[in-house]
Structures are given as structure tokens and as C-alpha cells.
Amino acid sequence: VPPVIEPFNFPGDGLVEGTRTRVVCGVSHGDPPLSIAWLKDGAPVPLQDGGGEDPSAAVATAAAAATFGNGGGSSGDGSVVITTLDPYSSLLSIPRLTRHHTGRYTCQAQNPAAQVRYTAALLVKGKWCTLRDKFPTDPSFPAEVISSPRQSHTTHTKKYTLPTFVQQFGRVDHVIRDTG
């Protein structure tokens, strides 16, 4: 009997950088022996380099719990943790989301009968920041922030006086000093 993966999802409107998330890949049907692997954007999820082994060639499977890094930082900073819950389920946990975690996460279950996959998209949005943090300048001058929201094809222009909080989706496209 081929494996059947129970559907899982991340929030459709995305998650904010610095928060955490987790999903469980559960296999509800399928004959043993069964293996479960996680992929990100179609490639095997790399294990944290433990020395000797090429991290890009390693695959996180349900055979053992694993921790791997995604996009730099120190150990435990922005890393992903995979934990085997039982022979039929695997937990993918990201304790501190960064924009590098954005992507399509796939659970792959395999037994002698078949290999099946289930994929869910994760969107990580930028966290709140002050313009002064990103652009150290005189706090008294008004700045014009031009950003292009993903849902719109038009460009919106708004005036802010520093420090003003803006939600930053990846980056601020332009900051222009008001000369008038």
C-alpha cells in the first residue's frame, strides 16, 4: 500500500520575521518500511555541517532528529529542527524565522510501493523596523518612502517623519529626502 501524507500548511498570509513556526508531516496510510524526508524548493534539506560530510548532500529523514542551518547565523540562530515523532510522522520546526526560510517545503514519504510528496509554501515577511535604524540621518527631516506592495502593480508614496515605523517586506525600495 503506498503512503498517504496528511495535508499540512503554513499561514497563507505569511509569518513575520523573528517569529516561529512548525508543521508535522504525518503518514496516515502505507506499508512499512517507510522513510520520510524534507525538501526545500525541491532540493534535499541540508544538515548542519558536523564535519566531513558534504552538507548539501545530506537529507533530513525520519530515521533521526536533525538540525540544519538556513542562510547563515550562529548555531540555533535561524536554524531548522527536524524531529522524528514516531515511525509515521516528522516535525519540521523553525524557532526563529528569517527571510531565508521563505520557500516551498515538501514532505516526501517513501515505501516499496511508491514515493509521494506534499508541499506547502512558507512566506516570511520583514519585521517592523525604524527608518533611522536602516538609514542613520538627522531625525528631524521628513523622508519620503516609496514601496511597491506585492498585491499592487502601482507604486505608493507616503510621507513619514523619522523615526516612523514601517513594515518592511524584504526591503525599502527608495528613501528620498524632502527638499521642499
The model's pLDDT over 133-142, given as tens digits with 9 standing for 90+, comes to: 555 555 554 4
**133 φ, ψ (degrees, to nearest 5):** -60, -35
For 147, other C-beta atoms within 10 Å of its C-beta total 19
pLDDT at 128: 64
CATH number assigned to the domain with residue range 4-125, chosen from the 4 options 3.30.450.20, 2.60.40.10, 3.40.50.300, 2.30.42.10? 2.60.40.10
Q: Specify burial of residue 112 (Cβ count, 10 A radius: 0-12, 13-18, 19+).
A: exposed
Question: What mean pLDDT do residues 109-118 have?
Answer: 98
| % residues pLDDT > 90 (the chain) | 48
Pairing between β-strand 89-94 and β-strand 43-44 as defined by DSSP bridges: unpaired
Indicate the domain borders of the chain. 4-125, 128-177
Q: What is the pLDDT of residue 129?
A: 57
- What contacts 112, CB < 8 A, 6 or more positions away? 31, 33
pTM > 0.85: no
Give me the mean pLDDT over the 116-143 stretch: 70
d(CA 38, CA 171): 29
